[in-house]
Each structure stands twice: as structure tokens, then as C-alpha cells.
Amino acid sequence: MRAQARIVAVADPVRGTRLAAMRGEPPLLPRRTFPSDSEGEVQLHLVGGAAGPLGGDDLRIEIEVGPDARLCVRSVAASLALPGPAGGQSRLHITARVAAGGRLRWLPEPLIGAAGCDHRTVTSIALAEGATLLWREELVCGRYAEPVGDVRIETTLRYGGRTLLRNDLAVGPRASGWSGPAVLDGARAVGSLLVVDPAWSDATSQEPTRCVWMAGPDDGSGRPDSAGGPTGVRRAAPEHSTAAVLPLAGGPAMLVNAVGADPRAVRARLDRLSVRRYVPERTARFRAIPIARVSPAASSATAGDAE
């Protein structure tokens, strides 16, 4: 199956933002959803018209956000990558362009890689200098007690013409060592939140200062565990090294990375680190995004606290 969706958001003097284009075909059907953001943001959901992606599918999503427009794209449910009837790889290409002053929030539900699937997501984000981005990507390795097929996620972020992030993740039988202690250590879910905010430009003109906070289940302290351990090596509880905030080089951007036993744990860690902790003092912008807006369940924009 081939399908394409195209969404174009432009600034509107009255409502802040309006959709200049919103079209798609199954399984990529964009639907305007409410309530809209008070900051003049337009929100829409991708509603899946079919199971998938299936092996052989070729799906394309194109997003454009014009100067000063604000767009938030979500999905109503997780997508499930399945092997196709005739074999073959399923592909999802996402291309996003955001103009200066524009803001894009891409907050879909996770991708689940089913057993035997062969899926590749290629994301290419091009931001003009002065554009703002929040981009979430979550992957679940198999349905319940199921081994994952081959999934490859390739992400490129350009900001003002410079590539700030090239980050691929491969899991499954073809990816050597992916479930070992260097990559996922048996974690079944992994996710990232890519944040770009031009307000950090001054702060990050040098190598950004390190800021890392470990996310334990109830670790509100933000401090590394200081317990000693055998062989003189400090031993932190495993859950204390499952997430980190990573300021990128060369631009006002950071990547929040998290792994977990399931998607809920990953989402909780991403939300906790991104919303509560990373925001530099000088930046009010993402502070204004309450946790519920980053992480709603399905189409409700008022979901309660995560976790």
C-alpha cells in the first residue's frame, strides 16, 4: 500500500494558525482535533484507517509549518509494524519543515514492531534558524512476550542548514548486539524527545553545559546515586541509568533519551526529564507546556498526570 499525507500550517492573524492543507489517505488520515492550544496552536490527530504499516507499505508524511504558525500532530493509537503478505519492507518517510518563528510539536503514540516485521522509518526535519521543535519518537520491541522483527529508525535534524543530529536506531535479528548492555540491555521500549528552542541560542553558543538527571521510578532528587559497590566501582540502581538529557553540539537543541521495560515507563521518563528538569532558567517557552499536553492519552488533550 502507498499512502501520503500532507499538512501545511500557516500563521493566521485571527486564530494564530490555520491549516492551508490537510489531506491524506488510509492509513494516514489527519483529523483536526480540539481543544486547540491557547497559544494559537492548531492540533490534529492521525487516525489510522488500517492496521499497519505492513511489509511492502510505502507511507509518506509531509509537514510544513510556516513563519509564526504553531502545529501539533498526534496519533490516536500506537502503530503496529507487521510483516507483509508478500514479504518486503515497510517504509515510513516523514519530512518536516518549520520556518523561522514557527513551532512544531510531533507527539504520536509509539511504534510497535511485531515479530517478523521489517520496518524502516526515515525522518528528516529541517528547521530554519529561529524555529522551535518538540519531536517524540517511541519504539516498543514486540507485542506482549513477542520477539521484535527488524526495525530501523533513522533521524536527521537540520537547523539553519547545519545537521545537528544524525541518529539511527536498529533493533531486531539483523541488528547485532541490540539487546545487549551497550544498546538496550533487554529493555523492550525506548524513546526520545528532541527539543529545539532558539531561546537557548545564547546559552549554547559554546558547548552546552552538561545537564543530566537520572530518572528512577520515584527519584525526585535529581541527584546521582552515591552508594558504593563491590570492586570499588560505584553501583547505581539500574533504573538510575535509564534516561538522560543530552544537549546537542552546535545549536539550541537537546535530545532526551530513555529506555524502559514498557512504553509507560519510557513515556514517564521522557516527560519527567523534559518537562520538569531540563528547561534552563532563561527559557519560559516550554515551561508553558504542562505535562498533560506533552503526554495525553489518545485524543484527549486533558489526560491526567503520567504515571
Partner 1 sequence: MTGLATLLVLADGRLPAGGHAHSGGLEAAVSSGRLRDLAGLSGFLRGRLATTGRITAAFAAAACVAARTVRAADADADADADAGHDDALDRHRLDALDEGLDARTPSPALRRASRVQGRALLRAGRAIWSVDPAQRDRHHPVALGIVAAAAGLPPAEAAVAGAYGTVSGPASAAVRLLGLDPYGVHSLLAELAGECDRLAALAAARAGDPIDLLPADSAPLLEIGAEVHANWEVRLFAS
The owner of cell 514486540 is 142
Task: Give which of 36, 93, 108, 14 is closest to 61, Cα–Cα.
Answer: 93
Instruction: Confirm or reject binding of residue 250 to partner 1 (CB under 8 A).
Output: yes
Among 244, 275, 279, 306, binds partner 1 (CB under 8 A): 244
Binding part of the chain for partner 1, among 70-78, 102-110, 126-134, 243-251 by CB under 8 A, reads: 243-251
236 binds partner 1 per the rule CB under 8 A: yes
CA angle 40, 200, 267 (to 5 degrees): 65
Provide the residue count of the chain. Answer: 307
CA distance 83 to 76: 22
HSE, side-chain direction, 13 A CA sphere, residue 239:
14
Distance, in Å, from the CA atom of 82 to the CA atom of 85, rounded to the nearest integer, reads 9
Q: How far is the CB of 244 from partner 1 (least distance, A)?
A: 4
Cβ–Cβ under 8 Å, residues 73 and 47: no
156 binds partner 1, rule: CB under 8 A: yes
From the CB of 93, what's the least distance to partner 1, in Å?
15
Query: Which residues between 181 and 200 bind partner 1 (CB under 8 A)?
Result: 181-185, 190, 192
Identify which range of 41-49, 99-107, 251-259, 274-282 contacts partner 1 by CB under 8 A: 251-259
Q: Does 176 bind partner 1 (CB under 8 A)?
A: yes
Interface with partner 1: number of residues (CB under 8 A):
55
Q: Is 6 a binder of partner 1 (CB under 8 A)? A: no
Footprint of partner 1 on 39-58 (CB under 8 A): none
Q: Taking CA 193 as the corner, what is the angle to CA 190 and CA 195, rounded to the nearest 5 degrees?
A: 165
Per-residue binder mask for partner 1 (CB under 8 A), 200-219, x = binder: -------xx-x-x-x-----
The residue from 234, 264, 282, 287 that contacts partner 1 (CB under 8 A) is 234
Stretch that binds partner 1, among 33-41, 77-85, 106-114, 176-184 (CB under 8 A): 176-184
User: Which of 197, 169, 172 has its CA nearest to residue 259?
Assistant: 169
How many Cα atoms are found within 13 Å in the side-chain-facing hemisphere of 65? 32
Q: What angle do CA 182, 183, 185 make, to 5 degrees?
A: 80
Binding site for partner 1 (CB under 8 A): 154, 156, 162-170, 175-185, 190, 192, 207-208, 210, 212, 214, 224, 226, 229, 231-238, 240-250, 255, 257-259
